């Protein structure tokens, strides 16, 4: 509410401003030409008058008092008016610098005629006037000899300053003015003078050197300074030695090349100065707004931007206090353990004749990374092969060797800490990195090995595959993902579709059904536990995806972010089927189970969504215990670039999920590896316990909610559809509703039904066919929408009643 009032205030303030601006006279192009050419002519006339005033001013002076008398003959080339104006500007005004006025008027004419940027012209006037004042004061020094140089104003001002600060003071003041002008206008700095001085010094030096060398050659070759002698010499030399001319050719163009360089540099400087002008012109072209833009601007001015959160404007995000603080948080460095591990690593490596140059430790929450720089000549593969031996000598599980650490050129050995610390969800949610993140769907996973909070954007991933043996932290990981989003996103901005075949993992989220969950229209529970319902839901998401693509296409947007931005700016009309699109996050816990029972029926829509849904804001998170190849098939793997591996039991599983080993060497309890296609990052997953999730969902669930969960489009399986026929009893159950929509909109298109009724393309198409059979819409007419044969709802009622 508070927001609204401030917005209103600002619009009230803004309105009179806008009204004040409008009266500024705007000339048509013809008027601009007339006015501009008048100014150009005036500028030329002034220049002519001023110029002739220099020669004829004295002669005309005596008759100036007779102005305006037609019979008097003036010497000025612009006659009476020219003499009078020149007298005013030059003698009584600023003297010779007044010529600049004529130039400025001429320039103004050009600007007006050609419709150039006014801001630049204003600048010319300001600087021009300042130069006129400066010059006229400067010429004031010489006014007693040549009074027209600085004019009366120049003389008076000069003497005004002289009275107070003397001649030298005035001269210095003018010098200061000149320096300021150069500094502001031409961006001259102290360095410019220093460089000038340096280059002058350099030139002098080279001049002196060349003079010296020429003196020397003078000494050796007699008469070489004489041109005649040189000509004779070259005439003799060329035929004698063929290499000579090439040498002289070489030496000659050199200064030319230098000169060329200088020119290029100067040119490029000029270009950079001119660049902004070009840019300004481009922006001007952009300013041209379409009618819909203007309407949108007006709507935004009147009502403010569309606020998707308005319906639940009092919604409170869960406070941090709902998350638990742990005692053993924060890393305590055990110096002894560090020393011990270091010595063991060094010893083990030495046993295999691997010398070490240096070793560095980075302590993380669960593992410590020892970075080793081996002695020169040691093969990396040798250290990699010793992985098991090092693990054995350190008597520790979960040693991982990274050889070499990407981008560092060192070898890393990760050794688990004896006492691991818990990374609490609270600490990562409270971190600045998460709180200040501007990501679309930020997820705070936990902490990296260097104890930094790891935050990634789900929207960028764009889908995530999560695998890990049972009891290694998958469910906690999923909860961490959901919690992150609950702490950052308003219910209007994100919706979850939760699939939980285990039936127990995600049940807590039932409490936030009407806030954050999405479901099929006819289903009772939002959390899907039944495998057949999963198929319907996935297909429904595919329909939602198609619908969203259609909406994006109609709105000329490439992705959901652009679309929502446009919608918020009120550039998309809700009456055309546009609406604010929340992100949809599909979470499937235990994907293996689904594949086992439903196979292709699940795989196909998942693959379709994974391939296409990124742009329209549908993101998939799929977790599985068994990362075997028949579960994570090639097509699924190819479309899930972001992978998370908790501890798995075999190297093969690790390879299936990560395309490499590593996951089999993790220590469990939330120790995980994350990859988004390139490097593996070891992370300690944030721990969020069931009671914490319960508190959060309870907090959210107790607040005012939407009337229902977010409804996904209805999906009727192939067998549920009706064939095209005239039989009334076989009609789709949405037939009447669809007919009313079509008649109201007077537009017979399937996509309209898709949008309004949230249907898939096939079903909408079938309904259109039934409408055609009922005589409500006309025949198929190619790309055009079908003709609507019923004029209004009353006629429709009559038609349908007569059928019965
Ligand atoms: N990030 C973590 N930090 C500390 N302990 C953790 C973390 N993640 C998991 N654990 C511990 O591991 C246990 C099992 O975790 P979780 O239930 O997430 O495993 P899971 O992989 O989902 O197992 P399943 O597949 O059988 O459901 C938790 O109860 C917790 O004690």
737-758: pLDDT as tens digits: 899 989 988 888 888 888 888 7
Over residues 14-31, mean pLDDT = 54
Asked if residue 602 lies in contact with residue 535, where contact means CB atoms within 8 angstroms, the answer is yes
Over residues 29-48, mean pLDDT = 88
- As a whole-number percent, the residues of the chain with pLDDT over 70 amount to 78
Q: Does residue 552 lie within any of the structural domains? A: no
Among protein residues, the one with the nearest Cα to ligand 1's atom 4 is 669
Over residues 126-134, mean pLDDT = 89
Q: What's residue 717's pLDDT?
A: 62
Most informative mutation of 324, 476, 672 for ligand 1 (most atoms within 8 A of CB): 476
Specify the ligand 1 atom closest to the Cα of 646: 21
Q: Does residue 293 lie within any of the structural domains? A: no
Asked if residue 587 lies in contact with residue 621, where contact means CB atoms within 8 angstroms, the answer is yes
Q: Given pLDDT bands bounded at 50, 70 and 90, which one contains residue 232?
A: very low
Q: Does residue 747 lie within any of the structural domains? A: yes
Looking at 654, 675, 706, the residue that finishes a domain is 706
Q: Does residue 544 lie within any of the structural domains? A: no
| Cα-Cα-Cα-Cα dihedral sign, residues 342, 344, 347, 349 | negative
Over residues 299-306, mean pLDDT = 70
Among protein residues, the one with the nearest Cα to ligand 1's atom 15 is 473
Give the integer Cα–Cα distance in Å for 626 and 657: 10
Specify the ligand 1 atom closest to the Cα of 671: 1
Going by the annotation, the residues of the binding site for ATP are: 468-475
Asked if residue 481 lies in contact with residue 621, where contact means CB atoms within 8 angstroms, the answer is yes
Residue with the larger pLDDT of the pair 326 and 126: 126
One domain, residues 241 and 389: no
One domain, residues 250 and 119: no
Residue 283 C-beta-side C-alpha neighbours within 13 Å: 7
Q: Given pLDDT bands bounded at 50, 70 and 90, which one contains residue 517?
A: very high
Q: Does residue 783 lie within any of the structural domains? A: yes
One domain, residues 500 and 462: yes
Over residues 465-484, mean pLDDT = 92
Among protein residues, the one with the nearest Cα to ligand 1's atom 23 is 471
Which range (174-188, 256-270, 404-418, 463-477) has the least confidence?
256-270
Total domain count, the chain: 5
Cα-trace Rg, the chain: 42
Q: Given pLDDT bands bounded at 50, 70 and 90, which one contains residue 804?
A: low
Asked if residue 335 lies in contact with residue 703, where contact means CB atoms within 8 angstroms, the answer is no
Q: Answer yes or no: is pLDDT of 243 > 60.
A: no
Most informative mutation of 473, 625, 687, 688 for ligand 1 (most atoms within 8 A of CB): 473
Q: How far apart are the first and last CA of the chain?
A: 52
Q: Does residue 559 lie within any of the structural domains? A: no
One domain, residues 177 and 45: yes
Q: Does residue 32 lie within any of the structural domains? A: yes
Asked if residue 580 lies in contact with residue 492, where contact means CB atoms within 8 angstroms, the answer is yes
Among protein residues, the one with the nearest Cα to ligand 1's atom 5 is 669
Give the integer Cα–Cα distance in Å for 219 and 424: 88
Tokens of 102: 């004529």
Q: Answer yes or no: is pLDDT of 173 > 80.
A: yes
Strands 411-416 and 367-374: antiparallel
Asked if residue 763 lies in contact with residue 732, where contact means CB atoms within 8 angstroms, the answer is yes
Q: Answer yes or no: is pLDDT of 697 > 50.
A: yes
DSSP designation for 663: G
Residue 26 CA from chain centroid, whole number: 36
Q: Answer yes or no: is pLDDT of 235 > 70.
A: no
Q: What's residue 4's pLDDT?
A: 41
Q: Which residues line ligand 1 (CB under 6 A)?
A: 422, 468, 470-476, 625, 669-670, 685, 687
Distances (CA, A) of 773 to 110, 538, 763, 779: 69, 31, 15, 9
Asked if residue 80 lies in contact with residue 67, where contact means CB atoms within 8 angstroms, the answer is yes
Q: Answer yes or no: is pLDDT of 272 > 60.
A: no
Q: Answer yes or no: is pLDDT of 219 > 80.
A: no
Among protein residues, the one with the nearest Cα to ligand 1's atom 12 is 669
Secondary structure tally for the chain: helices H, strands E:
29, 15
Q: Which residues contact 799 (CB under 8 A, 6 or more apart)?
A: 774, 775, 776, 790
Residue 608 maps to which CATH number?
Answer: 3.40.50.300
Tokens of 381: 């593969």
Q: What's residue 668's pLDDT?
A: 87
Q: Does residue 550 lie within any of the structural domains? A: no
Q: Given pLDDT bands bounded at 50, 70 and 90, which one contains residue 319?
A: very high
- The complex's ipTM works out to 0.96
Domain that holds residue 266: 237-271
Which range (82-91, 299-308, 641-650, 762-771) has the least confidence?
299-308
Dihedral over alpha carbons 512, 517, 521, 526 (to 10 degrees): -60
One domain, residues 185 and 255: no
One domain, residues 487 and 398: no
Q: What's residue 106's pLDDT?
A: 92
Over residues 512-532, mean pLDDT = 87
649: left (phi over 0), alpha (psi -120 to 50) or beta: alpha
Give the integer Cα–Cα distance in Å for 245 and 253: 13
Looking at 416, 443, 471, the residue that finishes a domain is 416
pTM of the shown model: 0.57
One domain, residues 748 and 680: no
One domain, residues 694 and 598: yes
Q: What's residue 382's pLDDT?
A: 80
Residue with the larger pLDDT of the pair 475 and 785: 475
The alpha carbon of 655 and the centre of ligand 1 are apart by a number of angstroms equal to 22
Residue 390 maps to which CATH number?
Answer: 3.30.980.40
The alpha carbon of 687 and the centre of ligand 1 are apart by a number of angstroms equal to 8
Q: What's residue 484's pLDDT?
A: 95
One domain, residues 86 and 157: yes
Strands 367-374 and 642-645: unpaired
The alpha carbon of 668 and the centre of ligand 1 are apart by a number of angstroms equal to 8
Give the integer Cα–Cα distance in Å for 765 and 716: 13
Q: Answer yes or no: is pLDDT of 478 > 90.
A: yes
Going by the annotation, the residues of the binding site are: 468-475
Q: Answer yes or no: is pLDDT of 275 > 50.
A: no
Q: Answer yes or no: is pLDDT of 596 > 90.
A: no
One domain, residues 746 and 606: no
| Residue 415 CB neighbours (<10 A) | 23
One domain, residues 472 and 598: yes
Q: Given pLDDT bands bounded at 50, 70 and 90, which one contains residue 591?
A: confident
Q: What's residue 312's pLDDT?
A: 84
* Greatest Cα-to-Cα distance within the chain, rounded to the nearest angstrom: 126
Average pLDDT score over the chain: 78
Identify the burial level of 584 via C-beta atoms within 10 angstroms of its C-beta, where 0-12 means exposed, 13-18 middle and 19 or more buried: buried
Q: Answer yes or no: is pLDDT of 719 > 80.
A: no
The alpha carbon of 673 and the centre of ligand 1 are apart by a number of angstroms equal to 15
Tokens of 611: 């391939």
Q: What's residue 95's pLDDT?
A: 86
Residue with the larger pLDDT of the pair 145 and 371: 371
Over residues 552-575, mean pLDDT = 88
Among protein residues, the one with the nearest Cα to ligand 1's atom 9 is 473
Q: Answer yes or no: is pLDDT of 156 > 80.
A: yes
One domain, residues 643 and 508: yes
Q: What's residue 443's pLDDT?
A: 94
- Quick: pLDDT tens for 601-660: 888 889 889 888 888 999 999 999 887 888 888 888 888 889 999 999 888 888 888 888
Looking at 672, 706, 740, the residue that finishes a domain is 706
Give the integer Cα–Cα distance in Å for 78 and 42: 11
431-435, 570-574, 576-580 — most confident range: 431-435
């Amino acid at each position: 509410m508070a927001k609204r009032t401030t917005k209103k205030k600002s619009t009230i303030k803004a309105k009179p401003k806008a009204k004040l601006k409008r009266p500024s006279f705007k000339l048509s192009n013809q008027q601009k030409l007339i006015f501009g050419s008048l100014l150009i002519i005036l500028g030329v006339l002034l220049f002519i008058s001023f110029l002739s005033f220099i020669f004829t001013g004295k002669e005309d002076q005596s008759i100036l008092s007779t102005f305006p008398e037609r019979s008097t003959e003036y010497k000025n080339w612009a006659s009476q008016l020219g003499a009078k104006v020149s007298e005013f500007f030059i003698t009584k005004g600023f003297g010779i610098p007044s010529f600049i006025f004529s130039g400025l008027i001429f320039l103004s004419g050009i600007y007006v005629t050609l419709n150039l940027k006014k801001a630049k012209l204003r600048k010319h006037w300001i600087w021009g006037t300042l130069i006129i004042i400066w010059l006229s004061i400067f010429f004031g020094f010489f006014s007693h000899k040549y009074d027209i140089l600085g004019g009366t104003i120049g003389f008076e001002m000069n003497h005004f300053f002289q009275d107070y600060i003397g001649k030298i003071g005035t001269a210095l003041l003018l010098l200061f003015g000149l320096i300021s002008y150069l500094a502001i206008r031409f961006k001259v700095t102290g360095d410019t003078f220093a460089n000038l001085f340096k280059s002058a010094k350099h030139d002098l030096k080279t001049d002196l050197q060349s003079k010296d060398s020429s003196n020397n050659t003078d000494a050796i070759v007699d008469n070489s300074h004489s041109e005649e002698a040189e000509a004779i010499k070259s005439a003799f030399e060329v035929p004698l030695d063929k290499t000579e001319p090439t040498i002289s050719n070489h030496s000659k163009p050199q200064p030319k090349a230098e000169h060329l360089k200088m020119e290029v540099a100067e040119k490029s400087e000029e270009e950079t100065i001119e660049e902004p002008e070009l840019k300004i012109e481009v922006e001007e072209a952009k300013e041209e707004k379409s009618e819909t833009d203007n309407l949108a601007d007006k709507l935004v001015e009147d009502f403010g931007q569309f606020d998707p959160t308005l319906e639940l404007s009092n919604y409170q995000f869960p406070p941090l206090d709902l998350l638990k603080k742990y005692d053993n948080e924060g890393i305590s460095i055990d110096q002894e353990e560090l020393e011990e591990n270091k010595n063991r690593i060094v010893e083990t490596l030495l046993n295999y004749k691997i010398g070490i140059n240096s070793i560095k430790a980075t302590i993380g929450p669960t593992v410590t990374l020892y970075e080793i720089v081996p002695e020169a000549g040691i093969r990396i593969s040798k250290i990699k092969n010793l992985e098991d031996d090092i693990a054995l000598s350190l008597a520790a599980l979960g040693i991982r060797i990274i050889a070499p650490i990407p981008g560092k050129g060192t070898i890393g050995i990760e050794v688990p800490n004896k006492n691991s610390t818990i990374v609490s969800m609270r600490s990562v949610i409270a971190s600045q990195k998460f709180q200040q993140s501007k990501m679309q769907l930020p997820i705070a996973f936990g902490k990296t090995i260097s104890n930094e909070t790891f935050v990634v954007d789900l929207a960028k991933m764009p889908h995530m595959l999560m695998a890990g043996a049972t009891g290694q932290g998958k469910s906690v990981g999923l909860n961490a993902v959901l919690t992150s989003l609950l702490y950052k996103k308003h219910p209007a901005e994100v919706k979850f579709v939760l699939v939980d075949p285990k039936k127990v993992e995600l049940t807590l989220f039932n409490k936030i059904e009407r806030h954050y969950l999405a479901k099929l229209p006819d289903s009772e529970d939002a959390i899907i536990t039944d495998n057949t319902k999963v198929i319907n839901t996935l297909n429904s998401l595919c329909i939602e995806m198609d619908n969203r693509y259609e909406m994006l296409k109609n709105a000329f947007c490439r992705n959901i972010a652009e679309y929502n931005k446009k919608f918020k700016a009120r550039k998309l009309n809700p009456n055309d089927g546009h609406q604010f699109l929340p992100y949809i996050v599909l979470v499937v816990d235990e994907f293996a189970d689904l594949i086992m029972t439903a196979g292709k029926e699940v795989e196909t829509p998942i693959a379709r969504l994974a391939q296409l849904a990124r742009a329209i804001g549908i993101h998939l998170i799929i977790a599985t215990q068994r990362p075997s190849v028949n579960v994570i098939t090639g097509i699924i793997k190819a479309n899930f670039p972001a992978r998370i591996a908790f501890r798995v039991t075999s190297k093969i599983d690790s390879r299936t999920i990560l395309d490499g080993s590593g996951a089999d060497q993790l220590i469990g309890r939330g120790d995980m590896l994350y990859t988004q296609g390139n490097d593996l990052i070891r992370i300690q997953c944030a721990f969020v316990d069931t009671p914490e999730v319960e508190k959060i969902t309870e907090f959210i669930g107790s607040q005012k909610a939407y009337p229902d969960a977010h409804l996904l489009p209805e999906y009727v399986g192939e067998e549920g559809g009706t064939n095209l026929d005239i039989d009334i009893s076989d009609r789709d159950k949405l037939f009447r509703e669809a007919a009313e929509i079509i008649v109201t909109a007077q537009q017979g298109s399937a996509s309209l039904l898709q949008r309004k009724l949230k249907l898939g393309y096939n079903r909408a198409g079938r309904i259109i066919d039934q409408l055609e059979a009922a005589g409500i819409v006309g025949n198929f007419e190619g790309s055009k929408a079908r003709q609507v044969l019923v004029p209004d709802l009353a006629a429709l009622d009559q038609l349908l009643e007569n059928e019965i």
